[in-house]
Structure 1
Amino acid sequence: MTDTQILIESRPPSVANLLVERVEATPDAEAYRRPVPPASGQGPDDWASVTWREAGDRIFAIAAGLIDLGILPQERVALASATRLEWIFADLGIMCSGAATTPVYPSTNADETAFMLSDAECRILIAEDAAQLAKARLRRSELPGLEHVVVVEAADAVAAEGDPEGWVLSLAELEKRGAALLERDPGAVRARIDALRREDLATLIYTSGTTGRPKGVRLRHDAWSYMGRAIEATQLMRSDDLQYLWLPLAHVFGKVLTAGGITVGHVTAVDGRVDKIVENLQVVRPTLMASVPRIFEKVYNGVAAKAREAGGAKYKIFRWAAEVAREYAKASQDSYRRTGNRTVPFALAAKHRVADALVYTKIRDAFGGRLRASVSGASALAPDIGYFFSGAGIHILEGYGLTETSAANFVNPGEAYRTGTVGRPLPGTEVRIADDGEILLRSPGVMEGYHGQPEKTAEVLESDGWFHTGDIGELSPDGYLRITDRKKDLIKTSGGKYVAPAEIEGRFKAVCPYVSNVLVHGADRNFCSALIALDGPSILDWAKEHGMAGRSYAEVVAAKETEELIEGYVRQLNEGLQRWQTIKKFRLLPRDLDIEHGELTPSLKLKRPVVEREYKDLIEEMYEGAREA
């Protein structure tokens, strides 16, 4: 048995055990950093450090507080909050109490929040603030089993008329109750941890489905301890890393990062405010950051748009540097695949040095200047954008996983990463490709099933543990996986040709610096069309330079000049596509797609049925008079 196999097989039953091991091994080492507003109220936030011992004390106090409130093993505690350090402490406190966490995105409306809390039979809700408390209060009559709401922001933990006595309390009060219990019974939390079994429920997390009610995914304690040890074995995270964590922790991608951080023992700076990312990168200067493709797309589009606005020589330099970056990345990665060394032709290396001085250093500085690697997941990154950043020295390690498989199943391995693939399977994960191209997975991270839905579970989970992902992919001879599309999202035109919309959408994002979201349509039609939403700041900046200053987003999008601009990029896209893949017609949407209108999931995935239903008239307009084959 190899060292890696031993590491995986010797894992403890739960991430709670890994936490105890970490606190005992490095109690005084820095564990987390959190933003603190400056005393002057001006300038960037300061950052305060928390040691593993301090983190462990707070987590145990929360766990003991939950025990004092009467929570029993495997009962559910909901957690509705944006990403912040208290989210991590609360989640770990819930698991250390033996209970199971039901994460809720803070953007979830009251109706869906009530559904999840009711379906999961949550006894306690840990809510970030008054807004999250209000959702529970609004639907309290539908939640008779909800006994307490614990509010993170102490000032918002205010009881209202009609609230049962003790129904609302602050997180500080919960921790105080926990500290008192630990004084009376110092071993109360350790007893709960010691009693945890691998098969016990740790997380009941609801998928942000594209249609209908979300399904509750049951993940065992063993899933998270496996993920922690598997990440450690890949050396994706290192003990000397400083990770910047802003991703939604209500998503499994965010949760798996916390498991890896505890196992490896590196420092994590936590702040979920998306509007602070640019500022925080300059202050935190991380060596590691996980993200979703949309962030890299926005950075790339922003840089490209600024260069275009500058015009003349600057725009020519950027376009030249972008092509050099892609050429360099492809040559470097190909060389590493063949020889194990990153070598490129002398002439290309010389061009790269010049482009680095003119362009790439500024891009790296925007990420803090120390970024060793960035993990990208949740959806596909357009290869051209990936190659651009790779050549610029921002190494994006794409990964792949699903809520039903605890987020991480594949990841690109450090120096050996290959843009356009999601890497190789984590140790302990098995993969096979079905006859129809569907990816099947089996690992300790695979879910127990869908909560209360055995029929739905049977549709995707075989009795021997193989999970049907619904994704189509290809495996290279040495185990690298390339995702080609969602099985259910493949388009078959009326001419009988199959089209992968995600591939075309990704290519367009790499071509057009003004696009925010794009949906390719064409099922049972005789040609493909597209609905295109533009990035507000980028297109408005372009509009100012073209005589449309002061116009609204909708007015700019409706302008003939804007349509002609985007039409040029569509033609550029079509040059690299097969005839049946080309976009014959497109429409610009009057606003960008967003979570609030239900068009994107909280992890920014496109909800195709919702968008196609909402803009049905625009789609039909594109096909009016078209002869169907």
Structure 2
Amino acid sequence: MSSAHSVIGSDKIAGRPASVAHLFLSRVEATPDGEAYRFPVPVDEHAADGAPGAEQWRSLTWAQTAARVQHTAAGLMSLGIEPEDRAAIAASTRIEWIIADMGNMCAGVATTTIYPSTNADETAFILANSGSKVLFAENAAQLAKAVDQRDQLPELRTVVLFDLPAERPEPAGLTVLTLAELEERGAAYLKEHPDAIRRAVDALDREQLASLIYTSGTTGRPKGVRLVHDCWAYEGLAQQESGLLRSDDVQFMWLPLSHVFGKSLICGQIATGHVMAVDGRVDRIIHNLPLIRPTLMASAPRIFEKVYNGIAGRARAEGGAKYKIFMWAAKVARDYARTVQESRLATGRDSAPLGLRLQHALADKLVYAKIRAAFGGRLRGSVSGSAALAPEIGYFFLGAGVPILEGYGLTETSAGVVVNPAEDIRVGTVGRPLPGTEVRIAEDGEILLRGPAVMRGYHDNPEQTAEVLEPDGWFHTGDIGELGPDGYLRITDRKKDMFKTSGGKYVAPSEVEGKFKAICPFVSNILVIGNGRNFCTALIGLDEPVIMQWAGEHGLAGKSYAEVVGSPEVRNLIEGFVKKLNAELQRWQTIKKFFVLPRDLDVEHGELTPSLKIKRPVVERTYAEAVQEMYAGANEA
């Protein structure tokens, strides 16, 4: 194995229980009447205070949650589902997802996660590869994916629906129940076997399979990542011990629970016992924030980029003076956050010059206070993961009083195992390892991780497991990074994404892409290209609401999105930002040519993974003609 440049972290968490199911039962015993979850429900249109389409938030205590979880677990037992059998969940983020997953864990059943956006072919592959015997399906559309591929799914016996359609489906060869009916079966089963849940949880082994989470993957079929009960018990206690989550938090959970990031935060919430508000509807985030008033939420960087672009776009639309004030305030936020961070590193104290402090106080009254209010007014931190956060975006929100706690992890490490502490954020890094995780940098710069959260391998795939997992537990992440003397980790790029130009110069595309996102408020996605070429080019997708607002103000009102982004006016606009970018880059990194995409990249066309990572090979194939044209007849050095 490659020798390390440095190693940080150690196994500090001892005496953890064998599973999150143990943590869950302990939590229920400790705070049975404490609020566990909040979730929206439709208001009966015939109620005195109701109206069609209206909804209200309801709560479950830990004891009420336990009753539903235990009935679900016992319902699975009544169906003959045994420990380590697989039960898949294909649903959006909602309270029923959590009930089903915890029911699986308390029955010793392993959860297979499926994004609701996954197509029928890949859904069938995951169900078949995992050997899932039960499918928790959100609705008839998710059920249909399994029915359409029924001949490929000999193991699947039962489908449990969260939402029952008007006409009850009766697919051949499958038993269809509602979640309520499964819980009723479980309640009856527990009358005959009252100690069934406690016995099942007591029998759990920490190395027993708990979850099969399929990597969305940027190429090829997804791989099933085997995460055992110890992975999740570790995540829960590490988040608690590190102070990332606190018992008095109110966390807004909208992340897809099919993704490892959301699942890991559920484990931390069970450990600390704080309140979690659950609603996965992305179009309701802005509406929900002032209702929930979270102290903590987690997100992907794209959300923060969209928030920033949206704020800038509204300021621009309100007129020259307001836009100038916003741009000034944005610069002050970045300067203030950067200065305070540098002061802390140099002296151990947070300080800034008097003039900058006065500017920051004024900008706070004019701009930052409104931003904090939009997030609910009491957000102490927002955890960011799954992709790189542009430092300029991080400095802006930190300076505005909405600190983003950037972290790092993979599906193969049960999500985040490195995170910035709220009391000492270092923008531009992904923080320090959680207690119990070790980090090392190999000779070629690759980040290696070891600890209880690391997967036990890829499901039925020993060859690919051996490629990334050393016998002594070190996991090869495929990312390139650096460790600072204070133990903070900085990611420089994906090992497989780095490329060398024909002139022999290495380029880290994510570094260039991150810089452009910080400069250009109109960009949604950018893909830098240049492997084996004599210069770099870029494919650029624009943020539709922001660019369409700009278009309406610049003589392009009434035109379609494709017409707008293909116009000379937008071409000139983006070219100005590319020139600004190039001024910050080494010569071999500069973008010589670019192409504005006729539509933004998306999950539906297979260009983004469900966690919003760009599938580079797919995008390059889709726009191969545009790429070829950018390099046609080129001899630039």
* TM norm structure 2: 0.96
Which residue of 2 is the match for residue 618 of structure 1?
A: 626
Which residue of 2 is the match for residue 207 of structure 1?
A: 215
Does residue 589 in structure 1 map to residue 586 in structure 2?
no
Does residue 387 in structure 1 map to residue 392 in structure 2?
no
Which residue of 1 is the match for residue 231 of structure 2?
A: 223
Which residue of 2 is the match for residue 80 of structure 1?
A: 90
Contact 1:531 1:587 in 2 (8 A): yes
The equivalent position to 2:62 in structure 1, one of 35, 45, 52, is 52
SS of residue in 1 equivalent to 2:609: coil
The equivalent position to 1:290 in structure 2, one of 291, 298, 322, is 298
Q: Label 1:217 to 1:249 Cα distance change in 2 as closer, same or farther (>3 A).
A: same
Please identify runs of 4+ aligned residues in structure 1 that moved more than 6 A: 4-7
Q: CA deviation at 1:154?
A: 3.3
Does residue 15 in structure 1 map to residue 20 in structure 2?
yes
Contact 2:218 2:615 in 1 (8 A): yes
Q: Label 1:45 to 1:367 Cα distance change in 2 as closer, same or farther (>3 A).
A: farther
Q: Report how many residues are paired.
A: 624
Q: CA deviation at 1:190?
A: 1.1
Q: CA deviation at 1:344?
A: 1.2
Which residue of 2 is the match for residue 334 of structure 1?
A: 342
Q: CA deviation at 1:7?
A: 7.3
CA distance in 2, matches of 1:336, 1:266: 31
Does residue 29 in structure 1 map to residue 29 in structure 2?
no
Q: Label 1:268 to 1:560 Cα distance change in 2 as closer, same or farther (>3 A).
A: same
Q: Label 1:157 to 1:382 Cα distance change in 2 as closer, same or farther (>3 A).
A: farther
Which residue of 1 is the match for residue 615 of structure 2?
A: 607
SS of residue in 2 equivalent to 1:585: strand
Query: Once the two structures are superposed, what CA deviation does each residue of 1:51-98 show, in whole Å capped at 9, x if it has no partner?
Result: 000001100000000011011111111100000011011001001101
2:333 counterpart letter in structure 1 = A
What is the RMSD computed on CA atoms of the aligned residues?
Answer: 1.4
Q: Label 1:43 to 1:167 Cα distance change in 2 as closer, same or farther (>3 A).
A: closer
| Larger mean Cα displacement after TM superposition, 311-320 or 553-562 | 311-320
Contact 1:154 1:172 in 2 (8 A): no
Query: Once the two structures are superposed, what CA deviation does each residue of 1:270-328 show, in whole Å capped at 9, x if it has no partner?
Result: 00000000000011110000010000000001111222233421111111111100000
Q: CA deviation at 1:268?
A: 0.1
2:99 counterpart letter in structure 1 = F
Identity %: 65
1:268 counterpart letter in structure 2 = M
The equivalent position to 1:530 in structure 2, one of 520, 524, 538, is 538
Query: Once the two structures are superposed, what CA deviation does each residue of 1:335-394 show, in whole Å capped at 9, x if it has no partner?
Result: 223333322111110000111111111111111111011000000000000000000000
Which residue of 2 is the match for residue 552 of structure 1?
A: 560
The equivalent position to 1:104 in structure 2, one of 78, 102, 114, is 114
Which residue of 1 is the match for residue 405 of structure 2?
A: 397
SS of residue in 1 equivalent to 2:478: strand
2:137 counterpart letter in structure 1 = A
SS of residue in 2 equivalent to 1:550: coil
Q: Label 1:604 to 1:124 Cα distance change in 2 as closer, same or farther (>3 A).
A: same
CA distance in 2, matches of 1:346, 1:210: 49
Which residue of 2 is the match for residue 171 of structure 1?
A: 179
Does residue 67 in structure 1 map to residue 77 in structure 2?
yes
The equivalent position to 1:272 in structure 2, one of 269, 280, 288, is 280
Query: Once the two structures are superposed, what CA deviation does each residue of 1:81-132 show, in whole Å capped at 9, x if it has no partner?
Result: 0000110110010011011000000000000000000000111101011110
SS of residue in 2 equivalent to 1:343: coil
CA distance in 2, matches of 1:98, 1:5: 29
1:433 counterpart letter in structure 2 = I
Which residue of 2 is the match for residue 365 of structure 1?
A: 373
Does residue 407 in structure 1 map to residue 415 in structure 2?
yes
Contact 2:11 2:451 in 1 (8 A): no
Which residue of 1 is the match for residue 433 of structure 2?
A: 425
CA distance in 2, matches of 1:311, 1:492: 45
SS of residue in 1 equivalent to 2:383: strand
| Larger mean Cα displacement after TM superposition, 40-49 or 203-212 | 40-49
CA distance in 1, matches of 2:180, 2:167: 10
Contact 1:129 1:157 in 2 (8 A): no
Which residue of 2 is the match for residue 41 of structure 1?
A: 51
2:113 counterpart letter in structure 1 = P
Which residue of 2 is the match for residue 256 of structure 1?
A: 264
Query: Once the two structures are superposed, what CA deviation does each residue of 1:515-536 show, in whole Å capped at 9, x if it has no partner?
Result: 1111000110111100000111
2:347 counterpart letter in structure 1 = T
Between the two structures, name the one with larger relative contact order (CA 8 Å, sep ≥ 6). 2
Counterpart mapping for 1:495-510 below 5 A: 495-510=503-518
CA distance in 1, matches of 2:636, 2:516: 26
CA distance in 2, matches of 1:420, 1:126: 40
The equivalent position to 1:124 in structure 2, one of 128, 131, 134, is 134
2:179 counterpart letter in structure 1 = L
1:33 counterpart letter in structure 2 = R
Contact 2:234 2:453 in 1 (8 A): yes
Q: Label 1:325 to 1:573 Cα distance change in 2 as closer, same or farther (>3 A).
A: same
Q: CA deviation at 1:145?
A: 1.1
* TM norm structure 1: 0.97
| Larger mean Cα displacement after TM superposition, 330-339 or 278-287 | 330-339
CA distance in 2, matches of 1:554, 1:41: 39
Q: CA deviation at 1:408?
A: 1.4
Query: Once the two structures are superposed, what CA deviation does each residue of 1:395-417 show, in whole Å capped at 9, x if it has no partner?
Result: 10000000001001100011101
SS of residue in 2 equivalent to 1:518: strand
SS of residue in 2 equivalent to 1:218: strand
Q: Label 1:142 to 1:224 Cα distance change in 2 as closer, same or farther (>3 A).
A: same
Which residue of 1 is the match for residue 244 of structure 2?
A: 236
Contact 1:7 1:233 in 2 (8 A): no
CA distance in 1, matches of 2:165, 2:198: 31
2:143 counterpart letter in structure 1 = L
Does residue 318 in structure 1 map to residue 318 in structure 2?
no
Q: CA deviation at 1:46?
A: 2.1
CA distance in 2, matches of 1:46, 1:121: 38
Which residue of 1 is the match for residue 193 of structure 2?
A: 185
Structure 1: where are the runs of 5+ without partners? none
Contact 1:150 1:157 in 2 (8 A): no
SS of residue in 1 equivalent to 2:595: strand
Q: CA deviation at 1:42?
A: 6.9
Contact 1:151 1:157 in 2 (8 A): no
CA distance in 2, matches of 1:6, 1:35: 40
SS of residue in 2 equivalent to 1:529: strand
Contact 1:431 1:440 in 2 (8 A): yes
SS of residue in 2 equivalent to 1:408: strand
SS of residue in 1 equivalent to 2:514: helix
CA distance in 1, matches of 2:167, 2:65: 23
Which residue of 1 is the match for residue 551 of structure 2?
A: 543
CA distance in 1, matches of 2:340, 2:378: 21
Structure 2: where are the runs of 5+ without partners? 1-8, 45-49
1:103 counterpart letter in structure 2 = T
The equivalent position to 2:582 in structure 1, one of 574, 581, 584, is 574
The equivalent position to 2:523 in structure 1, one of 515, 519, 522, is 515
The equivalent position to 1:598 in structure 2, one of 606, 609, 620, is 606
1:385 counterpart letter in structure 2 = I
CA distance in 2, matches of 1:156, 1:482: 52
SS of residue in 1 equivalent to 2:13: helix
SS of residue in 2 equivalent to 1:401: strand
Q: CA deviation at 1:582?
A: 0.8
SS of residue in 1 equivalent to 2:415: coil
Contact 1:157 1:169 in 2 (8 A): no
SS of residue in 1 equivalent to 2:369: helix
Q: Label 1:104 to 1:6 Cα distance change in 2 as closer, same or farther (>3 A).
A: closer
